[in-house]
Amino acid sequence: MNEASGEDLTWFWHEWFYENWLLDQAVTGVAYVNQDPAQGALITLKNNGQAAMPVTVAVQETSGKTAQVRLPVEIWQRGDTWTFRYASTSPLLSVVLDPTSVLPDVNRANNTWKLFKQLGR
CA dist., res. 121 & res. 114, Å (int): 10
Please give the average pLDDT of every successive group of 10 residues along the chain, which has 121 residues.
73 68 95 97 97 95 97 93 98 98 96 80 55
Name the residue among 32, 41, 31, 49 with its Cα closest to residue 111.
49
Q: Which top CATH class is 23-118?
A: mainly beta
Residue 35 burial class via C-beta count within 10 angstroms: exposed 0-12, middle 13-18, buried 19 and up: exposed
100 C-beta neighbours (distance < 10 Å), count: 9
Sign of CA dihedral 33, 82, 30, 53: positive
Q: Domain residues of the chain, as ranges? A: 23-118
pLDDT, residue 13, reads 65
